[in-house]
Structure 1
């Protein structure tokens, strides 16, 4: 059977549009009819290309996880319980999500209970690298440090900053802005803050 470039292109278009709509509205808010309207197709044609809405969501989420894994694979694969290794992982993780706002929004919806009946995705994609890093860190972390919470602190801080930005209190005319904002300068300030927080939580050898 030969590949059909036109069909493949339509499938990719549906997935791209679905990623945007799932990120904006969540799984529960984005109907197949809405996805079809946004791609100029009827719902039956969308289903013929990508399967059910659940199948489509699994594809979108799977691709998002794979994109993250590809971005940090080198750091995770070579991870050692040292600050150098942790620093590289923090930078790669932050840079990936800073450049992937749709995926940030997708995860925020999921963490708020969106598509709660579609389970098992985190076990497939999140657990393997999480366990690898956690097991490595336990060899160096102080006995009173909960490594699981320490790792999830990275996720919580990054998603929180990238989804809301920051409001500066002083001076009143802060050059980055006086209201909620997230400038490139803020991103670099946050990078330093993230590194400092993790140094304090996990004082690893250099």
Structure 2
């Protein structure tokens, strides 16, 4: 009789949905950290703890997986901005300063909570995944336009002589927030938040005086 212990039972296979979600989570992390061009399907499979055939079965090829990752990032961003703009429209007529700072805060908090989303877009700005040129028009541009149009319509013109370039202000928030969230300097979040608020209020002609009045009120 052999003294060797019996073989351990093979682990039960993951349910199909669990395997797919594990693959997407692994791909999201790798695409954010290394870019689409710097990530192989083999590496995604290894990160997910699955074989290449299982990855192909659940998500198809790497292009299909990238589109799924970017779609999920877009839907998450779309939801938070839809909710934030609804709150902005309600508050802005009575208190434009509070509405603007609230919108800025919501977007900054979203990016801090979901750092892979700024990372994915910053990779694209560095010419990663250049073959997917349609994603900016499909995902980024509609959200930028929604924020720009809402701010133009709802925020009254400030006392500044020059009209605000609202679209460029929105892009500035996007660029700077994404860059800051990728920096990992969490200790400077309050300082960056105050700076971002001040920058946007100044650009929109609302200014520091209005912000101080709002804080006192």
TM-score (norm. length: structure 1): 0.81
Equivalent pair of 1:27/1:115 in contact (CA under 8 Å): yes
- Residue 182 (structure 2) aligned to one of 156, 163, 176: 163
TM-score (norm. length: structure 2): 0.77
- Residue 107 (structure 2) aligned to one of 84, 88, 93: 93
* Inter-partner Cα distance in structure 2 for 1:133 and 1:39: 36
* Inter-partner Cα distance in structure 2 for 1:132 and 1:29: 32
Equivalent pair of 1:141/1:147 in contact (CA under 8 Å): no
Equivalent pair of 2:85/2:150 in contact (CA under 8 Å): no
Instruction: Give the equivalent residue in structure 1 for 2:202.
Output: 200
Instruction: Give the equivalent residue in structure 2 for 1:10.
Output: 19
Aligned length: 186
- Residue 123 (structure 1) aligned to one of 120, 137, 147: 137
In the alignment, does 2:148 pair up with 1:146?
Answer: no
Instruction: Give the equivalent residue in structure 1 for 2:42.
Output: 33
- Residue 60 (structure 1) aligned to one of 64, 69, 72: 69
Q: CA deviation at 1:135?
A: 2.0
Instruction: Name the SS for the 1:203 alignment partner.
Output: coil
Q: 1:141 to 1:125 in 2, by over 3 A?
A: farther
* Inter-partner Cα distance in structure 2 for 1:101 and 1:131: 23
Instruction: Give the equivalent residue in structure 1 for 2:5.
Output: none
| Most deviating of 16-25 and 78-87 | 78-87
Equivalent pair of 1:87/1:195 in contact (CA under 8 Å): yes
* Inter-partner Cα distance in structure 2 for 1:7 and 1:54: 20
Larger radius of gyration: 2
Q: 1:101 to 1:136 in 2, by over 3 A?
A: closer
Q: 1:78 to 1:124 in 2, by over 3 A?
A: farther
Q: CA deviation at 1:141?
A: 4.7
Equivalent pair of 2:26/2:47 in contact (CA under 8 Å): yes
Q: CA deviation at 1:164?
A: 2.5
* Inter-partner Cα distance in structure 1 for 2:68 and 2:29: 13
CA offsets 1:98-135 (integer angstroms, 9 cap, x no match): 12222222121111111011122222222333222222
Kindly report the root-mean-square deviation, in angstroms, between the aligned alpha carbons of the 2 structures: 2.2
* Inter-partner Cα distance in structure 2 for 1:183 and 1:75: 23
Structure 2: state its 5+ residue gaps.
Answer: 1-13
Q: CA deviation at 1:78?
A: 4.3
